[in-house]
Amino acid sequence: MRKWLTRSILLYFVYGLAVYWYLFIFSGSGVPAPYEGTSADPATFMTGRELILSQEYSTIRNFLYFVTIPFEWFLLFVFMITGFSRKMQDWSNATSKIFSLQSAIYFFWLSLFISILSFPVDMIGFQLSKMYHITTQSFSAWMKDQLIDFWVNYLLMTVIILVLYWLIKRFEKRWWLYAWFLSIPFSLFLMFFQPVVIDPLYNDFYPLQNKELEEKILELADQADIPAEHVYEVNMSEKTNALNAYVTGIGSNSRIVLWDTTLTRLSEEEILFIMAHEMGHYVMNHIYVGIAGYLLLSLVGLFLIDKLMRLFIKRNGEFLKIRSMKELTSFPLFLLLLGVLTFASSPLSNTVARYQEKSADMYAIEMTGNHEAAIQSFQELSRAGLSQVDPPTLVKIFRYTHPTMLERILYLEEHKKTE
């Protein structure tokens, strides 16, 4: 065990150095020379101080992202090889003979210890955002959100554990297929449920207060044959200076949501372009395409997890302190494999998402025809969030669900020339 812990820590340290070298030394800043001085060059719409802060903040944030992901895997690995996962199962077994209660107790302790050990990393991220004036939240408000996160995730995951291990015990060879079948209605239910139950736990949502602007947005919706009655506003200024708008939910609970920071920092024309972009997602059924893609990836993922868990338990079960997949002690291995496969599939899912975002951009510019407002909205999004206009390649591949701001501004400029 000491040997594996030493190897793991050394490998993690080397990985961290490689990430640091790539982000802080190897990757350059600024835009390619051909685009210097264009509307895509941050030097044309950011001050010198904003340029420096943008580069610093984005680089540090990307570094934290890449080193945090394997840290979570490392914690799960340590829980298994130290026997702590087995001790937690013994505690839960001694507390109750009812499997549902055993599962709830086991996962509570697992969630609690992971949250405690991950807290310093989360705190660093919060302080970083605070230092660069992205976050406006107080520490107490941030902690409140962390506690809500903990309990929401705990309740949802406890339900998943109960169903998952019932399936493994009942259908040992085909549990992954039945789990996938059940994930379809569960995912759809969550998407329907989230906008009206989960999201309001964090923020207040209400119909857009600017009725003149809402009328113009609804006129756009009518042109797109979208049956919208309200545009929702959310009070994100209590938490951040960043800007955003999004589509969430399905069916009668689908919503177009504007952050109040977006309303205060963008002009009316820029907001209408943003709204047309969100309507583009609706018109092109991107939400349902996303659901279909997620379900396809989850089917492949569950199949691979089944095969990999069997392999690891057969070869290293004694070392990992796991006797069988049917034991709760195997759940950290399930989470570890799920995390690795999700990270490995992110380049594919991000590529699809970036294609959808570009399609929505082009839909919005065709609907509004206001290239200047569109470009200025992207420039202001970059300034408000201190985001890099042209991030390093690996950052784009693994983190970006949207085209880079360089790409978005350039293809809008190209579209403008064709008119």
* Number of folded domains that form the chain: 1
* d(C-alpha 393, C-alpha 388), whole Å: 12
Main-chain phi, psi angles of 410, to 5 degrees: -65, -40
Q: Is 7 part of a structural domain of the chain?
A: yes
Is 278 an active-site residue?
yes
Residue closest to 403 by CA, chosen among 348, 350, 346: 350
Instruction: Look up residue 290 and give its DSSP letter.
Output: H
Which residue carries 């799960």 as its tokens? 76
- Average pLDDT of span 136-140: 93
pLDDT for res 228:
67
**Helix, strand, coil content of the chain in percent (nearest 5):** 75, 5, 20
Residue type, 157: M
- Residue 137 CA to residue 124 CA, distance in Å, equals 14
**Residue 318 in domain:** yes
Q: Does residue 256 fall inside a structural domain?
A: no
In percent, the amount of the chain with pLDDT more than 70 equals: 99
Residue 120 exposed, middle or buried by CB count within 10 Å (0-12, 13-18, 19+)? exposed
pLDDT for res 128: 93
Does the residue 63 lie in any domain?
A: yes
State pLDDT tens for residues 48-68: 999 999 999 999 999 999 999
Please return the burial class of 48, using the count of CB atoms within 10 Å of its CB with bins 0-12, 13-18 and 19+: exposed
Q: 391 and 57 in contact (C-beta within 8 Å)? A: no
**Cα angle for residues 412, 211, 208 (degrees, 5° grid):** 75
E strands, 223-300, are 232-234, 245-248, 255-259
From 214, 233, 270, 278, the catalytic residue: 278
Q: What is the pLDDT of residues 270-313, one digit of tens each?
A: 999 998 998 898 888 888 888 889 899 999 999 999 999 999 99
> Do residues 43 and 413 touch, judged by C-beta distance below 8 A?
no
Q: Is 243 part of any domain?
A: no
pLDDT of residue 266: 92
Domain assignment present for residue 225? The answer is no
Closest among 121, 169, 155 to 12, alpha carbons compared = 121
The whole-chain average pLDDT of the chain stands at 90
Q: Rounded to an integer, what distance in angstroms lies between the CA atom of residue 125 and that of residue 60?
A: 9
pLDDT tier, 23 (very low <50, low <70, confident <90, very high otherwise): very high
* Residue range 235-252: mean pLDDT, rounded: 84
Tokens at 337, concatenated: 């494999």
Residue 257 in any domain: the answer is no
Any domain includes 139: yes
What angle separates helix 331-368 from helix 48-81, to the nearest 10 degrees?
Answer: 150
Beta bridge partners of 259: 234
The two structure tokens encoding residue 221:
């919706």
Q: What is the rounded average pLDDT of the residues 123-146?
A: 93
What is the rounded CA–CA span in Å between residue 216 and residue 222? 10
> What's the mean pLDDT in 215-229?
80
Which structural domain, as residue segments, surrounds residue 314?
A: 2-202+286-329+338-418
Inform me whether the pLDDT recorded for 178 exceeds 90: yes
Q: Which of 225, 348, 227, 224 is nearest to 290 (CA)?
A: 348
Residue at token pair 């705990």: 154
State phi, psi for 247 to the nearest 5 degrees: -110, 135
